[in-house]
Chains A and B, each alone.
Chain A
Amino acid sequence: MPAAIGQELVALLPRLRRFALVLCRSQPLADDLVQGACERALANADSWSPGTKFDAWMFRILRNYWIDHLRRMRTEGMAEDLSQQTQLIGDPGEGPILSRLALTDVQRAIDNLPQEQREVLLLVCAEDLSYRETAEILGVPIGTVMSRLARARKRLMELTAAA
């Protein structure tokens, strides 16, 4: 099974990177995240149970990788490297990759949602994962997924209603 993991990984790259962009909104950082998450996945290839969804497993690894980095940057960034730290959190002034594509109001509206809403939106509406699968990836109860998702979608409809 892990023999095929390489192919699975390559096939999943576009969607992994898309999720990474939703998490950090910075193209260079997103690429680093994907690279690091792939490394971590290969190192733990044996922990993937065949028959379970590979994409959900990878999304969880990617997100945990991102959280590990936020955690370490938070402590390490206290004394210096403030600029680096803000970049990591996704400084809006940094020209996030998404803004270049912000041709529509929907795009802009999504960009302006909090990260916790953007990620559920992507996982459910674009990745077509179930609420339960999404909850497992994020490590939160289904009710939390639902309330974040409903808030995000209502906000989108409000923001785009005038357009």
Chain B
Amino acid sequence: MSQLHLSDEILMAFADGELDGPTTTAIAKTMAEDPAVAKRITDFQQSRRLTRSVFSAGSMLDVPPQLRASVSAQIETYEAARRASSDSHVESARRGWFHRKSSFVQMALAASIAAVALSLGYFAGSREGAGAGGLMAQLETPAVHRTLSTIASGQDVELPFGRLRVISTYRLADGSLCREFRLQAAKEATNAVACRRNDWNTTFAVAIAVTEAEYAPSDGDDLMTTYLRNISAGEALMGDAEARALAEPGR
């Protein structure tokens, strides 16, 4: 038992009841014989009690009424959608859509918004006013494609119809390169993803309200996050890795 290496991790695991039988017995014996070891173990027990009491302080567990209300509203929407879809085939239609990888383009713009919105259990109605016509129609222009091939993530370029800003770049499992970007005009803005196969093709786009001055994670932003997860975007390519990927010929 003197062979047992009494690391902090082992003694902590003992204090937390995470060890198996033989080791537990050996440590218990040492603890009885060696006050220094006993002290280290009781310190771990003490730290656990202290931590628990800090995290259990009443105010740590108070949920603001607004948060509670908004989550309750989400749940109601979810449950309503569940009831409504139990006799339709929305779910399978949505899955099929994400698996189709070619010939997206125009139809894709409308359908993808609907599909992702459905999967989140709410509808993108609030964004209709942002205008799906103007900027959305510019997504496939040569100027946009050229810009996507050149600038790094985080950079902006002014185009005749608005400012294009690339947000991030991803490599999909099939090797194709996809970029998330934002096209912003005076009165409307669009977040989109384009993937390169010979040329850039827009695979997803969502209109967003331009008044969105503050950090708002659970709106169009989250549709985008959901989409990126659906295509298994993974980690964003940064710096040199991104530059090298952009320099490859289109595939």
Q: Which residues of A contact B (CB under 8 A)?
A: 2-3, 5-6, 9-10, 13-15, 17-18, 21, 29, 31-36, 38-40, 42-43, 45, 65, 68-69, 71-72, 74-79, 84, 87-88, 101, 104, 106-107, 110, 121-122, 124-126, 130-131, 143, 146-147, 149-151, 153-154, 156-157, 160
Contacts and interface: CB of A to CB of B under 8 A. Distances in A.
A42 B76 CA distance: 10
Contacts of A45: 78
B9 A147 contact: yes
B8 A40 contact: no
Secondary structure at the A interface, as helix, strand, loop or mixed, is: helix
A24 B211 CA distance: 25
Contacts of B59: 101
Q: Which of B71, B226, B238 has the most CB of A within 10 A?
A: B71
Contacts, number: 159
Q: Which of A14, A15, A126 has the most CB of B within 10 A?
A: A126
A39 B222 contact: yes
Contacts of A107: 54
Contacts of B12: 146, 149-150, 153
Smallest CB-CB A-B distances: 5 pairs:
A78-B154, A126-B55, A6-B75, A153-B47, A125-B51
A115 B64 CA distance: 23
Interface string B47-70: 110111111110111111011101
A42 B217 contact: no
B141 interface: no
A147 to B, nearest CB: 6
Given A32-B218, A71-B235, A13 B75 contact: no
A149 B75 CA distance: 35
Contacts of A15: 61
A35 B67 contact: yes
A32 B8 contact: no
A132 B24 CA distance: 18
Interface in B140-154: 153-154
